Each structure stands twice: as structure tokens, then as C-alpha cells.
Structure 1
Amino acid sequence: MENTNYFELINNTFSTLILDAIQYFPENVNKVHFESSGLLFGINNGLQTECDYIFPVGSVEKRTKSSILTNKKVDNALKASRKLFSTSTFVGTYHSHPYNEYFSDWCCPSNSDVLYALQNKYPYEVIIAITRNNQKSQELNIEYFEGDGLEFTYNKNEPGNSFPSKTNLGYKTTYIMGEFQSYKFEIRAYKFTGDSLIDVDLESSEAELLSLLNNESIKLDGIDEKHTASLRKMEFNLRTTQSNRKSNLDYHIAKLKNIK
């Protein structure tokens, strides 16, 4: 089986996911309390989906073995968006998995997550797993990884916080891992099939831009407002296949490095 689907986080959606997860997992709190959650908007072209806007709506209110009670603001915001948004459509939801420590599969859907998908039938679900890594505050570091593509099916005999049934789909998918301040995180994207959630490739032009700036030793807090346009143009170039893409990126990098 071949993976032909991918989900891309563009504009400021990647950083919004991270910041929203962090606000519900503050550094000065010893215990994990809340999951972040919100709505994803963009353009779904069938196999390719671009997410260009994220609307945080608060934490999940309650999870049980047989149901999930979501924050009522989710439904209210979704209904309002359908009357207001003209350049983007609703493509799914996201939520965080805050944990005390990293472990394998921490970013996979739980049994409750699959049940939530079955109940709501939203096209995509993005999950960000996050923990404090007990290290000193550090600059943003991002890496892409490849793993087995899996299908997750609801198991009615297991509690909500356990793993659902899993099937290996025989292809590889990409996901993002990174570190920021004192946090370690992983982000994955899943598509709802009608019966299950499946892994899809996750890409992010914003993440690529941040990695590029880091590799070039360009600090975001050293860029003034009038040069922000260069960052926007670079992010756009990173998600296009234009023939002059590299020369455009090189031009803006040189421009940013010469900021006095």
C-alpha cells in the first residue's frame, strides 16, 4: 500500500500548535493538567491538505471509556467560522498529549481519540505530544523523522486512555520532532477514513523556515519589523516549486544577515 496523502502546516500554524500546547503545560507547574485543543482551517485538495490557520479553543473537558465531552467553544467556533471564513475551510481539529516524560508512541491516537474521530467525522486530527525535558532553556531545534504508517481502530474492550487496535499499512510516513525552551515535542497528522485514523505525511514550510534560520545563525528576536516581509517571502518559497526558489532564499538570507 502506498501513502499518497500529506498534511502541511503553513504560515504560523506550526508555531501556534507549539505555543498553545506550552500554555497548558507551564514550566512552573509540577503536574500535567490540561490538553490544548483547537480547530484547523485551510484547503483540502483530496490527497494534499494545506492548513493555513489555527484557532485555539481551550482544553478537552472530559474523557470516559465510551464518550468524550469536548469544550463547547469548539462547536460554537466551528458554526461561526462557516459564516465568516471565505479563503479557508474547516479541515479538522488538533489537541496535545502532555506527559511527564517521553516514551515511544506518545504521539499516537488514544482509544478515546479514535472514538472522538468516529463521533465527529472531521477530516484530519493533528496531535502534538509534549513534555518538559528537564534541561536548561534552549533554542528551537526541529527534525523530520520517518516511521511506519499505521491505522488506528477503536477497541470497545479497552479504556479510553489505552492504545486502540493498530494495523501496519506497509508504508512510511514523516513526522516532526523538536525541542524548544525546556520542552520536547512531537507532531503527527492523521486522516479519518470513516472507520479509523491513519498516519499521513506531515510537512511544514514554517518549520523548514525556522530550521533554515537556525542553520544560518539568524535569530528571530534580532529581526526588526520592516524585515518581516522577507520571512514571509521565504516561507512562501519553501512551499513552492518555482525555478528561482533557491536564488530567492539566498537573497533573503543575505539580506537578514546584513541587519545592523
Structure 2
Amino acid sequence: MHLELTNQTLATILLDCMHHYPSYKKAKEAFGVILGATEPTSYIGEYSFPIGNVDFRAQDEVSPNKQINQMIMNARKLVATSTSIASYHSHPFDGAYVDWARPSNEDCHYFINEPLEIQLIVALAQIYDESKPYKLVYKKDSTKEFIPNDNMDADPIEKTESTETQYIQGHFQNVAFEIRAYLNTESSLKDIDLFSSEVELNQTLWQHDVHLEQLPAEAMYSIRKLEYAHRQKSQKNASDKIDYHLEKVKKLQIANPIIPTEDDYHNIRFINGLLLKEATSLSYKQAIQLARKGNIFADLHEDSVVLCQVLFDEQANVLFLEDLEKEVGSTIDLADYMVENGYFEEISLCNIRKFPLTFWVLEDKK
């Protein structure tokens, strides 16, 4: 048996873990649920749901809200082809360590009593002074089983087997990470092989010197097709399709991209594989035009920074924020002064709070 993550599930999980790690001092554990399918020889993770609403969240602990979890786990009524197969949580550290994506004793005690069969642990740390491109690789290690220790102050009891298990390592921006998957045996957590079509895709792009930040929006169709061709089920007959879509992507790659320097890095951002610039001045009319094309995003600076897409409702004639990180809890309608002044107001009986908005735009080529 193995777990395979498809359809940008891995990237969504990593973004959630990085979102809760603005710095080591402010880092907190991320938590979410993975939906997909259980097959005879594998678990397929197709969608991940970062869960912002938890009972408690700290740097070394997260306590999920069981009511929220149950609601997500019942999502089969919404996503008819999927069911809940796994959950994930992060281990934020101040540096990269050996076995840093291994379960703690508390993890073992908690998760063996949970109904989900697979647990994913993402260890991460900000260790690079310079921004790194998105890179994913497979690694192998001895298969281990982790049994809860009755002494809560001790590490879990480990049993090492003669076989090896596959896991994922990588880096993005200034963050290094490691991801391992575990089978819940109901008495222990045991290593299980982890695959991802995103790793296969990432390695293919690197091998052919293709970089996502150099690709225009129109290349994303072929990128999605490449991701699908790299899934475990598709690989046997996928070589022709991979070559075909890879050539299309190569032709679309920007020959001489503008590579941001360290001085102007804070004024650009990569979102959905696109390089966007900070909009230092923006009118409401311009925002509507960009929103109609899907070319504008916004950071909402509350207690943490929440990434939103700016969309336009043609019928209601309203510009609004759609929370991409499930933190805000609902959409926010934007008035013209919010866009042009760059802040969102929350007005209560005794208080007015202003939350800054940072807008990120893909410049129109026309």
C-alpha cells in the first residue's frame, strides 16, 4: 500500500504549512484533512482542506476541532467522488534535523484514536538566506513503526524493519521541508510509501530546464495535463503525452524573464505559478478589469496574512475577496475606498479596526 498525492494536493498542504510559519518565533502547527479514494493497493489524495478553525494551535501542538473535522469528513455529499482518507499537520522547526518529520509520542497517542487511516507529517524550517526555487525529490529510509509510550515525557517506542519507505524532501523560497506518510494501525503509526504526481512533474520540468516562474498563464493547461500524465495510474502509457505537452510548455516559456533581485523581492510574489507585482496604486475600475481576467490577488493582514483572490460578481456588480486559505470564514465585499486606500474596516459597537490590504496583479499584456 502507498499514498499518492495528486491534483496540487501537495502544493496546497505546503502553502498552508508555510502560511502558519511567518517566522520561527511566530510559527504554529498547521492542520488539515485530505479527501480522495481508497483503492486495492493505494490511497489517492485528490484534495486537501486546510482547517483554520481548531480548538488550540501552538508551535509544538495543534488540537483539531472535532465538529469541524466531522463536517469536512462528511464532504462526500459535496465532493461525490471522494471520501476522507487522511489528515496532515506540520512540525515547524528552527533548523533542519534528522528524522524531523517523525511522529512525537503525543502524535501517536492522538492519531491512533482517530478514524482516518493515513497521517501525513510535514516538517519545515526557514533555513535559507536566499530564495530557492520550488524543487521536490524522493528519498528513502528504513521503514519504522512508532508505538505510543505510556510515559508521556518519553519518545514513542520505535521498531525498525528491514524494508525501505519512500518520502519527499524539497525547498521553496527560504523554506526546507520533509513530508512522510504513516499508516494508522490503531495501535501504532507505521511508515508507508509516499508518491506525488507533483514530484514527478517537478523533476521532469527540472530535467528539461523549464521553470514555472518563466511560464505565462496559457501554459498552465499543458502543465495540468503533464501532472495528470505523471500519476501512477497513467504512467504506463503516458510517455507520448508527456513529450507532447512538454514541448508545448517549452515553446511558451519566456526566453528572457525578469528575475527579481533581493532588493525588489518584497515587491513581487509567486501565486499559482505566476509572477505578480505589488500594486502600489490601484483604482476600483482597474481592480474590476483585472478581477474579470483572474489577474488580481490580495493579502488581508489580520492576526495573520490571509491570501485571497479578488473576484467580480457581474450580476451583483460587486468586487469581493474570496479567501483561499479558509481563515476569514466568508467572502468580503470590497468598496472602492477599500481598494484605493488599501485597507478593510471592521466596525463594531465600540471599536473600528483597520486591516491593511496588499494587492498583487498580473499585468495585462494588451
- The verdict on a shared fold, with TM-score over 0.5 as the criterion, is yes
Tell me what 1:6 maps to.
2
For 1:56, give the aligned amino acid.
P
How has the CA–CA distance of structure 1 residues 12 and 137 changed in structure 2, closer, same or farther, with 3 Å as cutoff?
same
For 1:14, give the aligned amino acid.
L
Q: In the alignment, is residue 208 of structure 1 matched against residue 200 of structure 2? A: yes
Q: CA deviation at 1:32?
A: 4.5
Q: How far, CA to CA, are the matches of 2:166 and 2:235 in structure 1? A: 23
How has the CA–CA distance of structure 1 residues 257 and 170 changed in structure 2, closer, same or farther, with 3 Å as cutoff?
same
Q: In the alignment, is residue 251 of structure 1 matched against residue 247 of structure 2? A: no
Tell me what 2:183 maps to.
191
For the residue of structure 1 that corresponds to 2:45, the secondary structure is strand
Tell me what 1:91 maps to.
85
Q: How far, CA to CA, are the matches of 1:110 and 1:92 in structure 2? A: 18
Tell me what 1:25 maps to.
21
Q: How far, CA to CA, are the matches of 2:161 and 2:54 in structure 1? A: 30
Equivalenced residue count is 250
Pick from 140, 146, 152: which aligns with 1:146?
Answer: 140
Q: How far, CA to CA, are the matches of 1:25 and 1:68 in structure 2? A: 14
TM-score normalised by length of structure 2: 0.64
Q: How far, CA to CA, are the matches of 1:19 and 1:215 in structure 2? A: 24
Q: How far, CA to CA, are the matches of 2:54 and 2:78 in structure 1? A: 24
Point out where structure 2 has 5 or more consecutive residues left out of the alignment: 255-366
Q: CA deviation at 1:252?
A: 1.2
Point out where structure 1 has 5 or more consecutive residues left out of the alignment: none
Q: CA deviation at 1:78?
A: 2.5
For the residue of structure 2 that corresponds to 1:213, the secondary structure is helix
Q: CA deviation at 1:77?
A: 3.2
Pairwise CA RMSD: 2.2
Tell me what 2:50 maps to.
56
Q: In the alignment, is residue 132 of structure 1 matched against residue 130 of structure 2? A: no
Q: How far, CA to CA, are the matches of 2:76 and 2:243 in structure 1? A: 40
Point out 4+ residue stretches in structure 1 off by more than 4 angstroms: 59-63, 241-244
Q: How far, CA to CA, are the matches of 2:76 and 2:159 in structure 1? A: 35
Contact 1:35 1:60 in 2 (8 A): no
How has the CA–CA distance of structure 1 residues 128 and 226 changed in structure 2, closer, same or farther, with 3 Å as cutoff?
same
Greater mean deviation of Cα atoms: 80-89 or 48-57? 80-89
Q: How far, CA to CA, are the matches of 1:163 and 1:88 in structure 2? A: 35
Q: CA deviation at 1:243?
A: 5.2
How has the CA–CA distance of structure 1 residues 23 and 59 changed in structure 2, closer, same or farther, with 3 Å as cutoff?
farther
Q: How far, CA to CA, are the matches of 2:108 and 2:248 in structure 1? A: 47
Pick from 117, 135, 148: which aligns with 2:111?
Answer: 117
TM-score normalised by length of structure 1: 0.88
Report which of the two has the higher share of strand: 2
Contact 2:73 2:84 in 1 (8 A): no
Tell me what 2:333 maps to.
none
Identical aligned pairs, as a percentage? 34
Q: How far, CA to CA, are the matches of 2:214 and 2:63 in structure 1? A: 43
For 2:52, give the aligned amino acid.
G
Q: CA deviation at 1:38?
A: 0.3
Q: CA deviation at 1:204?
A: 0.4
For the pair shown, which has the larger CA radius of gyration, 1 or 2? 2
Q: CA deviation at 1:92?
A: 1.4
For 1:36, give the aligned amino acid.
A
Greater mean deviation of Cα atoms: 214-223 or 244-253? 214-223
Greater mean deviation of Cα atoms: 212-221 or 123-132? 212-221
Tell me what 1:176 maps to.
168
